Structure 1
Amino acid sequence: MLMATLGERAAGTDVPDKARLLLDEARAAARRNHDAARFEVLRMADALRDSGIPVVLMKGSAYLMALLPPLPGRNIGDLDIMVPRESLADTERALKGAGWLSVKPRGTYDDAYYRQWMHELPPLAHEMRGGVIDLHHTILPLTARLTPRPERIFEHAVRPAALAPGGETDALPDNIFVMSPPEMLLHSATHLAYDGDFQGGARNLWDIDRLVRHFAKAEGFWDELTIAAAAHDLTVPLARALRLAEALYETPSPPSVRGRGDIVDRLALRKLRGHDEYGQGAAPGAQFLLFLRGHWLRMPPLMLARHLWTKWRARRGEGRREAPQNAR
């Protein structure tokens, strides 16, 4: 997952020929990925150009369009964007008119669950290119125990060029933004330390390391970050992400912001470092406990039980329908 990033950092250094070949292939693949991701961003921007809806690019697409330090070698997956919740229907309609269609049929349990409880609508995949847009209205599920303030993100959002070196980047419509530096870091930290089970944690922590080292050069950044974290109720996941980044990459941060470690940190580091000689996970106990923790934080116990029961019944029904076909 970090092969292309390693290749970018090793460019111009003396490495064995076989390693050089692997690194160069990874770098080339990452650059093709960036070209495809940029194309998808520009097509989305065209689709929403005249809507008047503010659109905030998130994660990899934000790094790409603002030319931020996590970018070199970073693979960019789905196009993540955020709009005000009251603009979801208009945004979805405009994107569907431009060829992005929902992957969850309307009226199904999954579609209803996304729309009622999640921080995003069901994914939208382009009917021709297959590119996927994840359309968010906040950064955590509505069932989560923490309650960030999406309206603050829009209030503090900036144009990508405002963060790009020299203020130069691809031309985008006036309604396309990225998060402010404190909230961009907060979102990355929350995605790592609260919203999931530390899957892909090494890459996500590398994003955090790069963002910290870049944004912390600005005077007053840490004060702005702690104020934003308190306003969004995200002080705890921010502190955890900074501790883990320090443990893996020696990411500098004030001790007063990092706080003290706990058992979850130890489990996360065990998972992050627990790989065998083939790169496969070798810490199943830690992974299972973090999996349970991730679901526990995302929704109340009764809702979680009902959700898992419904999903199990649906999968069991699918298995029964497939069995007679396989027997033919």
Structure 2
Amino acid sequence: MLVPLAIRCFRDPQTFAANATATCWTDLLQQARSLGLTAQLHALFARHQLLQSLPETVQKHFAWGWRYYQKQRGSLFYELMQLEPFLGQADYPCLLLKGAAYQALGLTVSEGRLYSDIDLLVRRPQLTDCKDKLFFAGFFEPAISAYDKHFYLELSHENPPLYHVKRGTALDLHFALFPLAGRKKLNTELVFASASKIAGSCLQVPNLSYLYIHAAIHFFWQEEQHKLVKDLIDLDLLYGQLAEQNLLLQLLNDAQQFGALEPTVNTLLLVQSLFKRALPAEVTAKLVNSPYRRDVARALVLWQLGSGVRARLAGSLWYLRGYHHKMHWRALLRHVWVKGKLAWQQRHQPG
């Protein structure tokens, strides 16, 4: 099994730093730059008190990445502060998700992690009111086709992306954790029930279990291929904090109640095999005997980490599998037909 350098590094940074050649460092820095992992590598080696022992050139690259991350982190907290006066008027919970939640909680996974947008979750009945409040905060929704609007609100799990009129900040307003067309019957209400308020803020965050479950769903039930390594590293870091707090059995219990044991079980197995993590015996027993194991799907992940024909074939199958999870076949056929028709009309418009 070919394991990418970044995963080998996060798996055992001491061994990696002790044995890495100049070529190895060069390849790692190139991979890190392409995946947006440079600042996370800086944080990794700093946590293990190895930063000062690295080659000087490597330290410089990590320092550049860290400075960029600090700028992004400051921008994120500034954006969240701008939301406070408007969302503070809401009489319903507004939950941060993904990177914004990691940062708000100060999780290990947030150290050096870059973000591209702010993810917010509200209950579906409050979606319109929340959009109105965000409008007065300076966010707008670009014009899209009637079908795309229908797709987002009836088949997806979020509103069309919102953008700040001056700062260009992107905000994804979710009302579920997975597309409705996937028919996964996820109990989103449990996410709200588990949430806690951020000190001094009107915003809330899901508990650690649901942050992992959301990351697992995003990884295992969707079609994205270009961020597999980055997403696996996020899952490993989240796993590490769950393990430190003895919450792995609680994680499996929460995943079962929520309806997402399949992605949770299989991402834990991937973390175990790729990062060589020693799961507690009782957790291992549950994973070994789980009817939600998907050995073929995990093999597709591992094959994509390699190169050549097998990796390309695995990527194609992963893409098709992801859409199979996101949309039942009738919705998928209609989606392909309508989008194809709209694309054809755009290409053949006069002038």
Shorter-chain TM band: 0.7 to 0.9
CA distance, structure 2, for counterparts of residue 127 and residue 275 of structure 1: 42
Give the equivalent residue in structure 1 for 2:186.
Answer: 148
Q: State whether residues 213 and 252 of structure 1, in contact with CA within 8 Å, keep that contact through their aligned partners in structure 2.
A: no
CA distance, structure 1, for counterparts of residue 79 and residue 307 of structure 2: 34
Q: State whether residues 62 and 160 of structure 1, in contact with CA within 8 Å, keep that contact through their aligned partners in structure 2.
A: no
CA displacement at 1:275 relative to structure 2: 5.2
CA distance, structure 1, for counterparts of residue 65 and residue 242 of structure 2: 27
Per the alignment, do residues 194 and 239 of structure 1 end up closer, same or farther by CA in structure 2, a change over 3 Å counting?
Answer: same
Instruction: Indicate whether 1:256 and 2:285 are aligned.
Output: yes
Instruction: Indicate whether 1:319 and 2:351 are aligned.
Output: no
Instruction: Indicate whether 1:310 and 2:338 are aligned.
Output: yes
Which deviates more from structure 2 when the two are superposed, residues 232-241 or residues 13-22? Answer: 13-22
Q: State whether residues 104 and 122 of structure 1, in contact with CA within 8 Å, keep that contact through their aligned partners in structure 2.
A: no
Instruction: Indicate whether 1:43 and 2:82 are aligned.
Output: yes
CA distance, structure 1, for counterparts of residue 231 and residue 337 of structure 2: 31
Per the alignment, do residues 261 and 247 of structure 1 end up closer, same or farther by CA in structure 2, a change over 3 Å counting?
Answer: farther
Amino acid at match of 1:255: T
What secondary structure, in the 3-state scheme, does the structure 2 residue paired with 1:20 have? helix
Residues 258-290 of structure 1 show CA distances to partners (whole Å, capped at 9, x for unaligned) of: 34551111111111x2259xxxx9822111110
Per the alignment, do residues 140 and 103 of structure 1 end up closer, same or farther by CA in structure 2, a change over 3 Å counting?
Answer: same
Amino acid at match of 2:78: F
Q: What is the count of residue pairs matched by the alignment?
A: 305
Instruction: Indicate whether 1:293 and 2:334 are aligned.
Output: no
Picking from 130, 133, 154, the partner of 1:94 is 133
Picking from 254, 274, 277, the partner of 2:306 is 274
Q: TM-score normalised to the size of structure 2?
A: 0.81
CA displacement at 1:75 relative to structure 2: 0.6
Picking from 232, 254, 260, the partner of 2:258 is 232
CA displacement at 1:74 relative to structure 2: 0.5
Picking from 210, 234, 242, the partner of 2:268 is 242
Ranges of 4+ aligned residues in structure 1 off by more than 4 Å: none
Per the alignment, do residues 10 and 213 of structure 1 end up closer, same or farther by CA in structure 2, a change over 3 Å counting?
Answer: closer
Residues 230-285 of structure 1 show CA distances to partners (whole Å, capped at 9, x for unaligned) of: 111111110111112223222343223434551111111111x2259xxxx98221
Q: What RMSD, in angstroms, separates the aligned Cα atoms of the two structures?
A: 2.0
Give the equivalent residue in structure 2 for 1:172.
Answer: 201
Which deviates more from structure 2 when the two are superposed, residues 180-189 or residues 5-14? Answer: 5-14
Which deviates more from structure 2 when the two are superposed, residues 281-290 or residues 209-218? Answer: 281-290
Picking from 251, 261, 265, the partner of 2:298 is 265
CA distance, structure 2, for counterparts of residue 312 and residue 102 of structure 1: 24
Give the equivalent residue in structure 1 for 2:65.
Answer: 26
Amino acid at match of 1:5: Q
Which deviates more from structure 2 when the two are superposed, residues 136-145 or residues 58-67? Answer: 136-145
Per the alignment, do residues 257 and 74 of structure 1 end up closer, same or farther by CA in structure 2, a change over 3 Å counting?
Answer: farther
Q: Sequence identity, in percent? A: 26
Greater per-residue helix proportion: 2
Give the equivalent residue in structure 2 for 1:128.
Answer: 166
What secondary structure, in the 3-state scheme, does the structure 2 residue paired with 1:216 have? helix
Give the equivalent residue in structure 2 for 1:223.
Answer: 249
CA distance, structure 1, for counterparts of residue 100 and residue 255 of structure 2: 22
Per the alignment, do residues 112 and 4 of structure 1 end up closer, same or farther by CA in structure 2, a change over 3 Å counting?
Answer: same
Q: State whether residues 52 and 59 of structure 2, in contact with CA within 8 Å, keep that contact through their aligned partners in structure 1.
A: no
Per the alignment, do residues 282 and 29 of structure 1 end up closer, same or farther by CA in structure 2, a change over 3 Å counting?
Answer: farther
CA displacement at 1:293 relative to structure 2: 0.4
Q: TM-score normalised to the size of structure 1?
A: 0.87
Give the equivalent residue in structure 2 for 1:16.
Answer: 55
CA distance, structure 1, for counterparts of residue 136 and residue 156 of structure 2: 23
Question: Any gaps of 5 or more consecutive residues in structure 1?
Answer: 162-170
CA distance, structure 2, for counterparts of residue 316 and residue 98 of structure 1: 37
Question: Any gaps of 5 or more consecutive residues in structure 2?
Answer: 1-34
